[in-house]
Amino acid sequence: MIDVPIPQIGESITHVFISRWIVQPGQPVKEGEGILELDSDKASMEVPSPVSGVLTETLAEEGDEIAIGAVVARIDETATVAEASAPVAESSAPSADTRAGPAARQAAQEKGVDLGSVTGTGPRGRVTSADVNSVGTEAPAPAAVPAPAPVDTGALTERVKMTPLRRTIARRLVEAQQTAAMLTTFNEVDMSAIMAIRKQYQDQFVKKYGIKLGFMSFFLKAVIDALKEFPAVNAEIDGDHILYKNFYNIGVAVSGAKGLVVPVIRDADRLSFAGTELAIKEVAVRARDNKLRLDDFKDGTFTISNGGIFGSMMSTPILNPPQVGILGMHNIVQRPVVVDGEITIRPMMYLALSYDHRIIDGREAVSFLVRIKQCVEDPERILLEV
């Protein structure tokens, strides 16, 4: 029998949160395959199986907080797949796949209710503790003049412990607003030139590189151009000193399985447009699959967030400490604008730059955003570095 311990995933991490068991007791597993998913205060990751065999026992539940090094499962490497495929005795405990929160699962266990037989009234059919408590009770007979019954808000409330990752995000966002003199400046950019380039060269780009040319690579290149011209936006405050960084590790906010995360594209100034698109796609896929590593979040110098993919028209992004600048992209909307004295319809995007006023003056911030606008509206500037 082989023990499966929680691996060491970072020097400062002492506990992790079990978010999901990928393999259930009695199921086969191959060496290197993921057994369970973990959340830490920095990232999510899978724990791979150390051997091939059959998972015979799990020693922790989903939602438990476990110390690094603790044994959470056991694998029988002598068992065969045929043995693992044998029917497993049904348990009266609720299935882990049931769409129910911890409060509902606890109520079901206390009442001996099968969650699979409960109709959920929560969002997307989620089973709540009120649904469980209503099992076996009869509805009151209607009164001649029905009066609204008092609402038991406690029964409609679920208490779910925040994951370490969500707690860290919350702490850092509050910390950013409390410690930085944060301001936001806005501008708008005409996306016509970039859209024309993408339309003209998209097929050739896909044929050569196997990936589509998106908007993010243009903005990332424009950001690097602006950072070189205004180095304070790429800096960091260290006590009474300013650390000017002559490298460009750009964090790109992507939507992961556990929420929004900001992996870093390292040495982004050395990447081509194709290299940039491939790097962004790689971290986005790994974020979706909970495969990001701790190193993916280190040493970022500036962040780009694109709320436009969710339909955001305008926002004020919050700094990602210790960085002192973050660019917010938004949705593209066909709007009437004046060009050469004529009213015309153009695809427009609002841009927002949040910055730390302690080391970035308003003039620098506005000029930085204007430089990005110039590079996006006239992409040849990026190639010619003018």
CATH, residue 30: 2.40.50.100
Query: Per the domain annotation, does 67 fall within a domain?
Result: yes
Answer whether residue 119 shows pLDDT above 90. no
Together in a domain, 126 and 181: no
Look at 26-35, 41-50, 196-205 and tell me which has the smallest mean pLDDT: 41-50
**In 18-31, which positions are buried (b, 16+ CB within 10 angstroms) versus exposed (e)?**
bbbbebeebbbbee
Together in a domain, 296 and 227: yes
Together in a domain, 38 and 123: no
Answer whether residue 104 shows pLDDT above 90. no
The CATH number of the domain where 122 resides is what?
4.10.320.10
Query: Per the domain annotation, does 74 fall within a domain?
Result: yes
Q: Is 190 considered catalytic here? A: no
Together in a domain, 16 and 125: no
User: Which entry of 3, 267, 361, 378 is annotated as an active-site residue?
Assistant: 361
Q: Is 357 considered catalytic here? A: yes
pTM: 0.66
Together in a domain, 376 and 232: yes
User: Which entry of 64, 76, 269, 357 is annotated as an active-site residue?
Assistant: 357
The mean pLDDT value for 290-315 works out to: 86
Together in a domain, 9 and 119: no
Range of the domain at 113: 102-133
Give the number of domains in the chain: 3
Query: Per the domain annotation, does 152 fall within a domain?
Result: no
In the chain, the N- to C-terminal Cα span, in Å, equals: 65
The predicted pLDDT at position 97 comes to 45
> What percent of the chain has a predicted confidence (pLDDT) above 90?
43
CA 70 to mean position of chain CA atoms: 27
The predicted pLDDT at position 350 comes to 96
Together in a domain, 120 and 49: no
Distance between CA atoms of residues 223 and 376, nearest Å: 10
Read off the pLDDT band of 297 (50, 70, 90): confident
